[in-house]
Amino acid sequence: MSDFSYRLAVISDLDALVALEKRCFSEDRISRRSFRRFIEVPRDRLVVAYQGEQLQGYCLVLMHAATRLARIYSIAVAPETRGQGLGEHLVREAEKHAVAAGRIIMRLEVREDNAGAIALYRRLGYRQFGTYRDYYEDHGNALRFERRILFYEPRGQFPAVPYYPQTTDFSCGPAALLMAMAALDDSMSLTTLDELRIWREATTIFMLAGHGGCGPHGLALAAWNRGFHASAYVSQEGALFKDTVRNDNKKRVLELVHEGFLHDMGQTEIELHHAPLTLALVEDAFKQGRVPVILISTWQLNRSRVPHWVTVCGIDSQFVYLHDPEIDIAEGETVADKQHLPVDRRVFDQMARYGKNQPLQAAVIVGPKR
């Protein structure tokens, strides 16, 4: 596509844009007035592709004002130019502009009967995550797709954190801890057996439904018992997750397990802070060559309010970067989707807490071996 040039649209492109719109679409057309508004609104991006003096395509990207989301609102390629890969190049150009604007995710809608466009987006790494019913003027449905477009590039100032996916649906804590320890000791074993051993040591016995999950006290002890320095930050005193069980006997078991963790921690040099882990503490930990493991609510990730452990693998002026050990293969997720997830610093504080009334904030900071 070397004979095509790409740039942002200007007012002098209006006539060509309107003409191309009429050639490409019979319904749901963008009006001349709307094109002018999109060109003049500095937040949005309208990328055009020219071949010589002829406009051959455009891609309109809307930048959500309150989030780090971008959305391909419309894309058009002149009929005589189709089949030459211009659509793919327009999407990639649009992604570059969205990344430059600090956007993390690119989303789009496509008619469910547009097999060619769907195949293109899948080939470019987009994953379907929903459906809009009765979306178009003719009452057609739209499939919703998204792709992460912003990726963290390690610069060497922080420990390189390897990625390890959890192998059960209840061992996110052990998987996150394994990643942190392996960042500090490259001889650290990363196996399902290690993952399950840590789960047996750190589980709180009961939590929600199914197998028990791991708490910060148990994870800190697991790290200490493997020769690492460890400190725990827990915003609440007492046994955690008691409100997730109704049976009094189970509540008593949780209390006894918690007392056991505190007793065992008392025999170590683990630092226990009854305070939340702030961004300043996260940055300070990295500067000291330590790696934080934090408890989050998955609401910010997938609209599910479930406590979940992740590993912090980097931080900069805009984002906190996370390794999420859970890969939902059924939803088409891959390892690449869960590494170096960028979380806006403004969102991190909301994510790093679980519960409504008195939200729990919990983290374990793993330090180099003693």
User: Where does the chain hold its CATH 3.90.70.10 domain(s)?
Assistant: 172-369
Cα(350)–Cα(157) distance, integer angstroms:
26
Q: What is residue 18's predicted lDDT score, i.e. its pLDDT? A: 97
DSSP 10-41: -GGGHHHHHHHHHHH-SSSPPPHHHHHHHHH-
User: Where does the chain hold its CATH 3.40.630.30 domain(s)?
Assistant: 5-148
Q: What is residue 206's predicted lDDT score, i.e. its pLDDT? A: 64
Long-range residue pairs from 208-211, CB within 8 A, at least 24 positions apart, any chain: 208/241, 208/244, 208/306, 210/169, 210/170, 211/168, 211/169, 211/170
- CATH code: domain 172-369 is 3.90.70.10
- Other C-beta atoms within 10 Å of 292: how many? 26
- Other C-beta atoms within 10 Å of 229: how many? 20
Chain center to CA of 57:
31
Q: What is residue 209's predicted lDDT score, i.e. its pLDDT? A: 57
pLDDT, one tens digit for every residue, the chain (370 residues) = 458 999 999 999 999 999 999 999 988 899 999 999 999 987 899 999 999 999 999 999 998 776 788 999 999 999 999 989 999 999 999 999 999 998 888 999 999 999 989 999 999 999 888 888 888 888 889 999 989 898 776 666 778 899 999 999 899 999 999 999 999 999 998 999 999 999 999 988 765 555 678 999 999 999 999 999 999 999 988 888 777 777 888 888 888 989 999 999 999 999 999 988 889 999 999 989 999 999 998 765 655 667 899 999 988 888 888 999 998 877 667 777 788 888 888 888 888 888 777 788 999 999 999 8
Find, among 363, 280, 311, the residue nearest to 164 by Cα: 311
Q: In this structure, which topology does domain 5-148 adopt according to CATH?
A: Aminopeptidase (3.40.630)
Q: What is residue 15's predicted lDDT score, i.e. its pLDDT? A: 97
**DSSP E strands, 133-257:** 142-148, 228-234
